[in-house]
């Protein structure tokens, strides 16, 4: 069994609420990977995994994890994978007992997606998105090289909320003492 676990491609990070979830690595790394505060994916070159590899991992979920009711799609922004709808549909069809499928997503990615695709992802089984808001202040967002403005965050959040549960992550004190009033 150990050899089987060693060749499974685990995502290195997941939100705390996904501690008891299947972990399905759809992409490796981060599509943006420029935020100054984040070191999560600095040593991982971004790449979309081959769909057939992801589907093979999905076939092995119960072998690796047992029977679970939730799944998390990694790494940082799997919505950019060209076959994300197929992957979510396959996951749901192979494991119909899954009640929640979640993923990290960038606000810019959500903002650029057609609403039809978001609705298709919802219909396929995606239920929640975890988005790094970090701060609501444009000065702080620029300082940390987030690659998005507060308007981008609001617009993406409103768009995503039509189809999914949404978890925004905020980092208190990110602007330091100098910018504490703006945050």
Q: Where are the domains of the chain?
A: 2-179
- Could you list the pLDDT tens digit for every one of the 183 residues in the chain? 444 677 889 999 999 999 999 999 999 999 999 998 999 999 999 999 999 999 999 999 999 999 999 999 999 999 999 999 999 999 999 999 999 999 999 999 999 999 999 999 999 999 999 999 999 999 999 999 999 999 999 999 999 999 999 999 999 888 888 887 765
CA distance 44 to 33: 9
Question: What CA dihedral angle connects 83, 85, 86 and 92, to 10 degrees?
Answer: 140
Q: Domain 2-179 is in which class?
A: alpha beta
Give the residue among 47, 23, 10, 17 at the shortest CA–CA distance from 169: 17
């Amino acid at each position: 069994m150990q050899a089987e676990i060693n060749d499974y491609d685990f995502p290195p990070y997941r939100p705390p609420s996904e501690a008891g979830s299947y972990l399905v690595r759809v992409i490796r790394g981060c599509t943006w990977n420029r935020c100054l505060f984040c070191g999560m994916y600095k040593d991982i070159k971004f790449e979309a995994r081959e769909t057939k590899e992801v589907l093979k991992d999905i076939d092995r979920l119960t072998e690796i994890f047992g029977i679970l009711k939730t799944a998390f799609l990694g790494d940082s922004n799997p919505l950019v994978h060209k076959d994300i709808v197929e992957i979510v549909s396959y996951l749901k069809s192979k494991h119909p007992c899954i009640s929640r499928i979640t993923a990290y997503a960038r606000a810019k990615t959500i903002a650029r997606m057609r609403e039809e695709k978001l609705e298709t992802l919802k219909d396929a089984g995606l239920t929640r998105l975890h988005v790094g808001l970090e701060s609501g202040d444009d000065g702080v967002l620029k300082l940390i090289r987030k690659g998005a403005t507060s308007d981008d965050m609001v617009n993406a959040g409103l768009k995503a909320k039509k189809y999914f549960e949404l978890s925004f992550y905020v980092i208190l004190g990110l602007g330091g003492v100098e910018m504490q009033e703006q945050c």
